[in-house]
Chains A and B, each alone.
Chain A
Amino acid sequence: METLVLQALSGLASASSLFLVASGLTVIFGVSRIVNFAHGSFYMLGAYLAWSLVTALPRGHLGFWGGILAAALGVGLIGIAIETLLLRRIYRAPELFQLLATFGVVLIVQDLALLLWGAQDLLGPRAPGLRGGTMILGLRFPDYELFLIAVGPVVLLLLHLLFHRTRWGMLVRAATQDREMVGALGVNQRMLFTSVFFLGACLAGLGGALQLPRESVNLGMDLAIIVEAFVVVVVGGLGSLMGAALAALLIGELHALGILVLPKITLVLVFLVMAVVLVMRPHGLLGRAQAPAAAGAAAEPAIGATPRPLVWLGLAALLAALALPPFAGDYALSVLTEIAILILFAASLHLIMGPGGMASFGHAAYFGLGAYSAALAAKWLLAPMAIGLALAPVAAGLGGLLFGWFCVRLSGVYAAMLTLAFAQIAWSVAFQWSEVTGGDNGILGVWPDAWAAPRLVYYYLTLGLCLAATLLLRRVIRAPFGYALRAQRDSALRAETIGIDAFAIRWRAFALAAVMAGLAGGLFAYAKGSVFPTYLGIPRSVDALLMVLLGGVQTLSGPILGAIAYTGLQEQLMRLTDLWRLMLGTTILLLVLFFPQGLAGAARARWEGRHGGA
């Protein structure tokens, strides 16, 4: 019994830390609808700044607590800089596009932190006055953890007062409910957004700074916290502070008590919780359905016939892709193979994101399912490559049917996070079920059959399959099915009235996208010769998302262009410089600022500007 109480107390301390970070994220999202990937970076910067300040300032209460608060405010100022210099310029860009920008910030901060603070983990001093422990039920419990347990509710209370007792807070709540209406009533939205971003960044910085006495400050903090913070925000209900508090409590406690029963559960627990909550309550614990977009909101541009020059350009590119490789070296071939695969992967995600109007944060699941089913068939059934490649899309499609059935019922970020939850569950199975999947050591020796072993042959095989599949996807979007898909995206209500079963359409599109991603995954497995859990990990899902966003969500050529640009850029930079994250992040920021419609979107805008609408 004593054990359980202490374990629950430990859970409370973790929950409190988690809440601080999540509260900032939820406040920012509520008002600006920005999916802020850089929130984890704010958290990490908070910890690093606090370390620098606290070790530089004289020891004692003032030096320590002053340093912590100054670090939080410093991060707030960084938040203001990012909001005014970057995000403010792209609020009008398509939904989720800001995610691309914040991802660029993540990359830049990672390299800057390494340059500024070095690679070694840093250990901060303990909090003065809270170094020791208190005996609770005969066991010693750290004073600082008790302090943290108190901080969470205090911050919640302060935020509650701020939002309910001040005019500013009232405006924030109003904007959370209906941003357009607040703007129409003459409220200065710019100030509101900037101040909210400041508050959110401060909270993240405070969360990071308060970790100083209990954890080391290291370069992995940003990615370690960001996913969990998102889960808390979504489980609680986007924009809901009480919800975030409840979710943090739930997750903190389940974690602390769960490891007593199943020590390995930590890998997947938060995602299981999120999946269950979202399936039961599509808007999180305390979230409310977002106000539907104002009636008559501009529908996405219709998709017309491909303009002549684009056809010629495409044909020229195809000709080059067919004719040049025999003269390219083996390495160029393997890069081209990879690009062809990633084009299909991006195009498959584009189907559900662009015409379908559903974001997915977990598209790698189907890529990985394809790769794993091909590899497992090769390993356990000694199946030839053809069988493996045939199996890949089937298995991924079945996965898509299963997961999709849950995901397409939801909308917006909730749906995207549910796809992430399923992807992480699939990932943890691949990671943990060592007997079958080889665990994190993966499955080796998945090489193509002898006839396809020469790189050139495998390249043509990949190109043929990916090209056919990508063209099929384009065809689908232009077919009646594609019209129905776009109709339900632009107005689910109107689509339903004319007899379109929006759910069924979305579900089928989701499964089709999974099939195509699975094919890409199968091809990838044989191209690399091995399969690892990273194939269905979050970074790969993010890569797909970035490719689609970079290319432009609402153009058919977007994913193709985006895949080529992103893969090519990363491949080149990783070879050229150790600071590739800094370079890649900066490039992303520049592209975001100059091409807020994505690369293909910008090209189309220029074309239409010159030749009139398509």
Chain B
Amino acid sequence: MTVRLFGRRQMLAGAGTVLAAPALAQAPAGAIRIGEINSYTAQPAFLLPYRNGWTLALEQVNAAGGINGRRLETLHRDDGGKPEDAVRLAGELANAEKVALLAGGFLSNIGLAISDYANQNRMLYVASEPLTDALVWSRGNRYTFRLRASTYMQSAMLVEQAAKLPAKRWACVAPNYEYGQSAVRWFKELLTRHRPDVSFVAEQFPALGRIDAGATVQALAAANPEAIFNVTFGADLTNFVRQGLTRGLFEQRRVVSLLTGEPEYLDPLQDEAPENWIVTGYPWEQVNTPEHAAFRDAYRKRWNDHPRLGSVVGHDTVMAIAAMLRKATAVESEAMVDAMAGLRFGSVFGPVEFRAIDHQSTMGAFVGRTVLKNGRGTMADWHYADGKDYLPPDETVRQLRPQS
């Protein structure tokens, strides 16, 4: 929390070495500036750990000598959850602060708004979190790249597991906006392809952040499905789980659930975390690969807290940008975009590539089932699903993405 007590200017460099940020719109000699925009006040639960991960990575890069001797700096901006403000801030960062590239984004529509700005103004935009498929496919453009595994990829990971279940009658519940709708659409389409015998018997689309959990649970139960696909997250998920448990919705039914294994959403549920759901997520305490263990230790040491998935996303966005800058021939948009396409870098989860074909990274997610351990939820029987295995064939991608 201490982070938030300081003004952004004081902590602008992250490295803590810049004591007085110049009021002039001039980057200190040699530093490379990243303009980062996110919905900090609107989505603090995900984005505070994200910012911590970001800061940690920035410090690591600079401690290791920066980029060819140049330090890396970040200017963070809060868009308050409004795409029109994000566009204005993108302009501010680009024109007034002369940042080299844009990054960030949590909500899909904000990611798209920044992406369109970047395309119009020929600037590189590294989207960290927005999950919408449109960002790299239907509305993809030369200047936009995305780190996080998309809605399609995560749905595909779950479909693989769901297809193994005997269940034939499925029900879906998802927040009523683009993310929820496309997750349900992909899940239905892909599952039906694997298992022509399944049928979808009910759908609920509660408004985001305002689920009427009791009624939603009852409506799902009324259709008597054998399994449920859940896309709700955050406060909606908590309320859904509470009502579902007391009303017995999850008894004798399998639940397949997007993002639920992420500590951001699992931790608040405490000892009421649902058991035996098949989820995508991040079992931070169990992943012991050298890369991840080093990250976890560094994060703990720096913040005295355990990493959330947001921390990984923030950290790896910086690492991807650093790798790109080392590869790029010049700190200039076209050169950076060329370096970004096909870029390989070592993420906390292992090697990742930003595909040249659609600018989507191959960062994956952990798939497993939820269990209760020591009074809190975590994942078991998990494996790392590499993103590259869950993307459609290249011909399909070319059809989905406008080719220029």
Q: Which residues of A contact B (CB under 8 A)?
A: 3, 6-7, 10-11, 13-14, 110-111, 114-115, 118-123, 131-133, 139-142, 144-145, 214-216, 218-220, 224, 255-256, 259-260, 263-264, 266-267, 329-332, 334-335, 338, 431-432, 434, 439-442, 444-445, 447, 524, 528-530, 532, 534-535, 539, 571, 574-581
Contacts and interface: CB of A to CB of B under 8 A. Distances in A.
B82 A260 contact: no
B215 A11 contact: yes
B235 A534 contact: no
B209 A220 contact: yes
Interface string B270-303: 1010000000000000000000000000000000
B83 A534 contact: yes
Contact of B269 (A123, A256, A530): A123
Contacts of B6: 578
A266 B210 contact: yes
B92 A575 contact: yes
B219 A215 contact: no
Interface string B170-200: 0000001110010000000000000000000
Contacts of B109: 440-442, 532, 534
B48 interface: yes
Sorted from nearest, which 8 A-B pairs have the closest CB atoms? A119-B44, A216-B238, A330-B95, A331-B96, A142-B246, A10-B214, A256-B215, A3-B222
A120 B267 contact: yes
A528 B139 CA distance: 17
A13 B247 CA distance: 14
A58 B216 CA distance: 33
Nearest to A267: B207
Contacts of B41: 110-111, 114, 578, 580-581
A364 B113 CA distance: 20
B215 A220 contact: no
B311 interface: no
A121 B214 CA distance: 19
A331 B92 contact: yes
B344 interface: no
B239 interface: yes
Interface in B212-247: 212-216, 218-219, 221-222, 234-235, 238-239, 242-243, 246-247
Nearest to B87: A528
B212 A14 contact: yes
Given A10-B214, A10-B218, A219-B44, A329 B95 contact: yes
Contacts of B238: 121, 123, 215-216
Contact of B235 (A121, A142, A330): A121
Given A215-B242, A264-B176, A142 B268 contact: no
Interface in B73-107: 77-78, 80, 82-85, 87-89, 91-92, 94-96
Given A140-B247, A256-B214, A263-B205, 9 more contacts: A10-B212, A115-B1, A121-B234, A215-B213, A439-B181, A529-B116, A530-B87, A532-B109, A581-B41
A530 B215 contact: no
Nearest to A4: B222
12 contacts: A10-B212, A120-B264, A123-B268, A145-B214, A255-B215, A256-B214, A266-B206, A331-B94, A440-B109, A442-B112, A574-B78, A575-B8
Given A444-B116, A447-B120, A578-B7, A14 B214 contact: yes
Interface residues of B, number: 75
Contacts of A571: 88
Contacts of B4: 114-115, 578-579
Nearest to B79: A574
Contacts of A532: 83-84, 109, 113
B113 A120 contact: no
B177 A440 contact: yes
A266 B205 contact: yes
Given A529-B120, A530-B113, A7 B222 contact: yes
Q: Is the interface of A mostly helix, strand, loop or mixed?
A: helix
B282 to A, nearest CB: 15
A123 B272 CA distance: 9
Among the interface residues A7, A215, A330, A441, which one has the most CB atoms of the partner chain B within 10 A?
A: A441
Interface in B35-54: 40-41, 44-45, 47-48
Contact of B77 (A13, A338, A432, A574): A574
A382 to B, nearest CB: 16
B1 A264 contact: no
B25 interface: yes
B150 interface: no
B91 A444 contact: no
Nearest to B203: A263
A114 B44 contact: yes
Contacts of B205: 263-264, 266
Contact of B88 (A14, A220, A334): A334
A506 to B, nearest CB: 31
A10 to B, nearest CB: 4
B155 interface: no
A578 B132 contact: no
B248 interface: yes
B134 interface: yes
B59 to A, nearest CB: 19
Contact of A534 (B5, B82, B96, B134): B82
Nearest to B221: A139
B388 to A, nearest CB: 26
B45 A121 contact: yes
B333 interface: no
B117 interface: yes
A216 B8 contact: no
B204 interface: yes
A224 B212 contact: no
Interface in B1-55: 1, 4-9, 25, 40-41, 44-45, 47-48
A214 B116 contact: no
A267 B176 contact: yes
A189 to B, nearest CB: 37
A323 to B, nearest CB: 21
B362 interface: no
Contacts of B360: none
A581 B219 CA distance: 38
Contacts of A114: 4, 41, 44
Nearest to A262: B205
B219 A338 contact: no
Given A7-B222, A133-B246, A259-B219, A330 B91 contact: yes
Contact of B108 (A7, A145, A264, A441): A441
A466 B291 CA distance: 56
A218 B48 CA distance: 15
Nearest to A257: B215
Contact of B84 (A141, A214, A329, A528): A528
Contacts of B78: 574, 578, 580
A39 to B, nearest CB: 16
Interface string B320-351: 00000000000000000000000000000000
A577 B7 CA distance: 5
A259 B210 CA distance: 14
Contacts of B5: 115, 579
A260 B204 CA distance: 8
Contacts of B44: 114, 119, 219
